[in-house]
Amino acid sequence: MPLVLSSINLRQYGTVKIAGMTAAEARRAIEKHLVKFFDAPEVSVDLAEYRSHAYYVITEGPTKPC
> Spelled out in words, what is the top-level CATH class assigned to the domain 1-61?
alpha beta
Write the pLDDT tens digit of every residue in 17-50: 988 888 899 899 999 999 999 888 888 887 766 6
Show me where the domains of the chain are located. 1-61
> In this structure, what is the dihedral angle of CA atoms 5, 52, 28, 39, given to the nearest 10 degrees?
60
Query: Quick check: helix, strand or coil at residue 36?
Result: coil
Q: What pLDDT was estimated at residue 46? A: 77
Give the distance from CA 31 to its chain's centroid. 16
What's this model's pTM, rounded to 2 decimal places? 0.67
